[in-house]
Amino acid sequence: MNQFVFHNPTKVIFGQGCISNIGEELARAGFRKILLTAGGGSIRKNGVYSQVVASLGEAGVEWEEFWGITPNPDLAKVRAGVEAARACKAEALLSVGGGSVIDATKAMAAGCREDDIWAFIAQSIPVHDALPHFTVLTISATGSEMNPFAVVTNEAELKKWPLIGPALFPRVTIIDPSVQLSLPWQQTVNGAVDAISHVLEFYFLGSDQETTLAIDEALLRTVIKAAEALREDPADLAQRSNLAWAATLALNGLSGAQFDGGDWTSHTLEHAVSALHPEVAHGAGLAVLFPAWIAQVHPQHSAIFDRWARNVFGATDANAGLEALVATYHRWGAPLTLGELGLTREEIPTLVELATQGRRVGRVALLEPHEVRAIYERAF
Amino acid sequence: MNQFVFHNPTKVIFGQGCISNIGEELARAGFRKILLTAGGGSIRKNGVYSQVVASLGEAGVEWEEFWGITPNPDLAKVRAGVEAARACKAEALLSVGGGSVIDATKAMAAGCREDDIWAFIAQSIPVHDALPHFTVLTISATGSEMNPFAVVTNEAELKKWPLIGPALFPRVTIIDPSVQLSLPWQQTVNGAVDAISHVLEFYFLGSDQETTLAIDEALLRTVIKAAEALREDPADLAQRSNLAWAATLALNGLSGAQFDGGDWTSHTLEHAVSALHPEVAHGAGLAVLFPAWIAQVHPQHSAIFDRWARNVFGATDANAGLEALVATYHRWGAPLTLGELGLTREEIPTLVELATQGRRVGRVALLEPHEVRAIYERAF
């Protein structure tokens, strides 16, 4: 039985209409001047931006704005954000958007206190100091709104790597699931696949950690059930709420509590894909690569994969569970091969090198580079 | 869909051997002089006390001791504890024990900052200021180690009432499940029943809050599975760990997140019993009263009770689920009637008055005093 620490200080305010709390939360914490960070402008269309600035104005919080954070946010953009925060003497950051906006803003928050943020990423140094960071979430997927992780891409070096540390927990996160009712179906799918993948990165490390295994199965079944309901009726607020809360819990420490960290091989393989192809959505890459990893690994670890198949899909064994997972993703319109994502087999050696750096990866199974290559090949 | 706030800042350090961290946690937070609070002395027998003081000594933390906190802790003891904390100029409190020790220490922590702690209880005023409080848990049951609640008994007024407030969250909680391997079976059962009851106080308010419902079912199944395993082998550390972590999660905000508070009728009925009979263990009272409440209430709310029966016990409907619950408690040796707990039918009017104060109680079903009387009658 492993030791673990569970400590998640983020305050989550959840529910329809709760964006109006953001100004008061900032003001109560003593912040009078902030930098609002955002992506390409979707928050102007779905009404989130106007709710946020109305709340800031009402609470007497001044703000500057920093737009244009893209999916798979790049280090150069993070550095520009640090400059913007310093230029306006921001006392706190407020990210308004999905996982990429939140991740980039976490890196900015750390960068405001530490000069070379890439050194923290490259050397895996935990971040213990950062500017306070508040978030208003607009797409449930990455779980970044309630965890101490960020992923940043160094485009120049083709590296998409994590930044980790207790100072990266958002202080306050607002999740209003009603603003997600207008999301395109493919973004909903990408979010659901991302949440499922987060749980699975922990789950397969399990054996007799019944509490976490049972909670993880509950999260997996819930995400699938909610996504299926939203496929029928995208305006179902109850199911949108269930998907949103489950996606947050999928990577807030709960889903991996008894497992002492996760496996993360599928994420590492996906990060190589999107480092090479920044246009590939993280969830879409995972929909292809996680099943390929399961196919490669499950024969040597049948007990936990059989349990997963039985308790999540009511399937007889791991093979049948894998078929059910792939059928679910197919039914949702997620991609099933790397070819559909625009990759070619010629890129496999580069992917293997980016994912492994020539070393073995993984915990459920410790994979040699040639086994990683076999997973990429399965994914075509 | 209700709005909710999830904010639980307690740091939990979990696992065999982790008691040795307590001194360092206190020292790192800047506390050099503390008051250690405890019960009747079981922590001297199971080795917890010697581990704690060794850790304090090593970290250079000075301490005084306050012993003798009993189950259903009384207001007078809380007030004596406040005096002790003030007399030694304690900068923080460290409770070492089960839920009663932790609850009494929470009330002491609040009492060190507010003069009349009973006023907060009697008038339901939230506690926003308290002395910092660290805990070392020795019995998993109440969940007090990771929540902002305490229950205090005013013996003079026959009132066992809650104290609530954000300042009551412990700063750090240490849970070493291996120290519970020597617990008598009946204490393990009381803890399991308490954890099950906490989840159920929320669960039956559910309808389409799938995320929380599924997590709650996972917790219920896990507590039952772990307790059954411990009945076979009390020294099973993996299952002791599962029971401990599930009991903490049963009342840390997670199990009721989407339900905007709980029902708490069964707890209110039990608090009346143990206000009158302080010798009755909380879990033992709940083992009798919760099934009686379900029997009274489920016919008017069949959908959620049917779901519970199906997903927790694999039973066909609510009646079969209730039978399965009672059979489980019977198999564990828990009491099935108030008579077994030493109560008589003559006490029913007093119990009804203590539980209702002449008003209606409950949320799943809003019960008139005569319906509360019917539940007590069922329980004989």
pLDDT in tens, A283-334: 999 999 999 999 999 999 999 999 999 999 999 999 999 999 999 999 999 9
B187: its two tokens: 């204490």
Q: What pLDDT does residue B195 have?
A: 98
Residues of chain B positioned with their CB less than 8 A from the CB of A258:
241, 245
Find, in chain B, the residue whose alpha carbon is nearest to that of A17. B3
Residues of chain B positioned with their CB less than 8 A from the CB of A6:
11-12, 14
Specify which residues B138 forms β-bridges with: none
Task: Indicate yes or no: CB of B210 within 8 angstroms of CB of A239.
Answer: yes
Return the residue in A147, A196, A210 with the most chain B beta carbons within 10 A, the one to mutate for interface testing: A210
Q: Is the dihedral of CA B271, B274, B276, B278 positive or negative?
A: negative
Helices (H), strands (E): how many in chain A? 15, 8
**What are the tens digits of pLDDT across the range A341-353?**
999 999 999 999 9
Task: Indicate yes or no: CB of B14 within 8 angstroms of CB of A4.
Answer: yes
Q: What pLDDT does residue A162 have?
A: 92
Closest CA of chain A from B79, distance in Å: 31
The predicted complex's ipTM stands at 0.96
Domains defined for chain B, CATH in brackets: 11-178 (3.40.50.1970), 186-378 (1.20.1090.10)
Which of B11, B215, B225 comes nearest A215 by C-beta? B215
Task: Indicate yes or no: CB of A13 within 8 angstroms of CB of B5.
Answer: yes
Return the residue in A147, A211, A245 with the most chain B beta carbons within 10 A, the one to mutate for interface testing: A211
Find, in chain A, the residue whose alpha carbon is nearest to that of B16. A3
Kindly list the distances between the CA atom of residue A64 and the CA atoms of A67, A93, A94, in Å, as whole numbers in the listed order: 10, 10, 10
Closest CA of chain B from A179, distance in Å: 14
Task: Indicate yes or no: CB of B1 within 8 angstroms of CB of A241.
Answer: yes
Which of A217, A225, A237 comes nearest B218 by C-beta? A217
Indicate if the pLDDT at residue A2 is higher than 80: no
Indicate if the pLDDT at residue B239 is higher than 80: yes
Residues of A with CB under 8 A from a CB of B: 1-18, 177, 208-212, 214-215, 217-219, 221-222, 225-226, 237-239, 241-242, 245-246, 249, 254, 257-258
**What are the tens digits of pLDDT across the range A12-33?**
999 999 999 999 999 999 999 9
Task: Indicate yes or no: CB of A215 within 8 angstroms of CB of B219.
Answer: yes
Indicate if the pLDDT at residue A225 is higher than 90: yes
Indicate if the pLDDT at residue B339 is higher than 90: yes
Which of B11, B210, B242 comes nearest A211 by C-beta? B242
Task: Indicate yes or no: CB of A14 within 8 angstroms of CB of B4.
Answer: yes
Residues of chain B positioned with their CB less than 8 A from the CB of A14:
3-6, 257
Find, in chain A, the residue whose alpha carbon is nearest to that of B312. A214
| Residue linked to tokens 């625009």 | A342
Closest CA of chain A from B238, distance in Å: 6
- Mean pLDDT of all residues in B280-296: 96
Task: Indicate yes or no: CB of A210 within 8 angstroms of CB of B6.
Answer: no
Task: Indicate yes or no: CB of B246 within 8 angstroms of CB of A18.
Answer: no
- Residue A160 pLDDT class (50, 70, 90 cuts): confident
Task: Indicate yes or no: CB of A246 within 8 angstroms of CB of B211.
Answer: yes
To the nearest 5 percent, what fractions of chain A are helix, strand and coil? 55, 15, 30
Residues of chain B positioned with their CB less than 8 A from the CB of A246:
211
**What are the tens digits of pLDDT across the range B56-107?**
999 999 999 999 999 889 999 999 999 999 999 999 999 999 999 999 999 9
Average pLDDT, chain A: 96
Residues of chain A positioned with their CB less than 8 A from the CB of B175:
none
Q: Left if phi > 0, otherwise alpha if psi is -120 to 50, otherwise beta: which for A314?
A: left
Task: Indicate yes or no: CB of A8 within 8 angstroms of CB of B8.
Answer: yes
Q: What pLDDT does residue A272 have?
A: 94
Which of A1, A12, A210 comes nearest B225 by C-beta? A210
Residues of B with CB under 8 A from a CB of A: 1-18, 177, 208-212, 214-215, 217-219, 221-222, 225-226, 237-239, 241-242, 245-246, 249, 254, 257-258
- Residue A75 pLDDT class (50, 70, 90 cuts): very high
SS3 for A12?
strand
Which of B9, B177, B214 comes nearest A222 by C-beta? B214
Q: What pLDDT does residue B3 have?
A: 92
* In A204-316, alpha helices (H): 210-232, 237-249, 265-276, 282-297, 302-313
User: Number of residue pairs across A and B with CB atoms under 8 Å?
Assistant: 125
B9: its two tokens: 């800042």
**What are the tens digits of pLDDT across the range B94-115?**
999 999 999 999 999 999 998 8
- Mean pLDDT of all residues in A244-266: 96
A154: its two tokens: 């160094």
Residues of chain A positioned with their CB less than 8 A from the CB of B258:
241, 245
Which of A5, A11, A225 comes nearest B12 by C-beta? A5
Backbone angles phi and psi of A160, in degrees to 5: -120, 100
Task: Indicate yes or no: CB of A5 within 8 angstroms of CB of B13.
Answer: yes
Q: What pLDDT does residue B72 have?
A: 87
HSE, side-chain direction, 13 A CA sphere, residue B60: 6
Backbone angles phi and psi of A234, in degrees to 5: -60, -15
Residues of chain B positioned with their CB less than 8 A from the CB of A128:
none
- Mean pLDDT of all residues in B157-184: 95
Is the Cβ–Cβ distance between B190 and B284 less than 8 Å? yes
Spatial neighbors of B320 by CB under 8 A, at least 6 apart, are B309, B313
Query: How large a percentage of chain A has pLDDT more than 70?
Result: 100
Task: Indicate yes or no: CB of A1 within 8 angstroms of CB of B238.
Answer: yes
> What single-letter DSSP state applies at residue B367?
B
Task: Indicate yes or no: CB of A9 within 8 angstroms of CB of B12.
Answer: no
Average pLDDT, chain B: 96
Residue type, A370: H
Task: Indicate yes or no: CB of B219 within 8 angstroms of CB of A221.
Answer: no
Q: Which of A1-5, A63-67, A129-133, A232-236 is least confident?
A: A1-5
B375: its two tokens: 């539940």
Task: Indicate yes or no: CB of A245 within 8 angstroms of CB of B13.
Answer: no
Which of A1, A8, A237 comes nearest B15 by C-beta? A1
Question: ∠ CA(B140), CA(B44), CA(B34), 5° rounding?
Answer: 80
Q: What pLDDT does residue B353 have?
A: 96
Indicate if the pLDDT at residue A278 is higher than 90: no
Q: What pLDDT does residue A115 have?
A: 81
- Residue A158 pLDDT class (50, 70, 90 cuts): confident
**What are the tens digits of pLDDT across the range A165-179?**
999 999 999 999 999
Q: Rounded to whole angstroms, how far apart are CA atoms A321 and B77? A: 57
Task: Indicate yes or no: CB of B245 within 8 angstroms of CB of A258.
Answer: yes
Which of B12, B210, B237 comes nearest A1 by C-beta? B237
- Residue B284 pLDDT class (50, 70, 90 cuts): very high
Q: Rounded to whole angstroms, how far apart are CA atoms A92 and B294? A: 49
Which of B3, B11, B239 comes nearest A5 by C-beta? B11
Indicate if the pLDDT at residue A1 is higher than 70: no
Give the rounded distance of the alpha carbon of A374 from its chain centre: 26
Residue type, B340: E
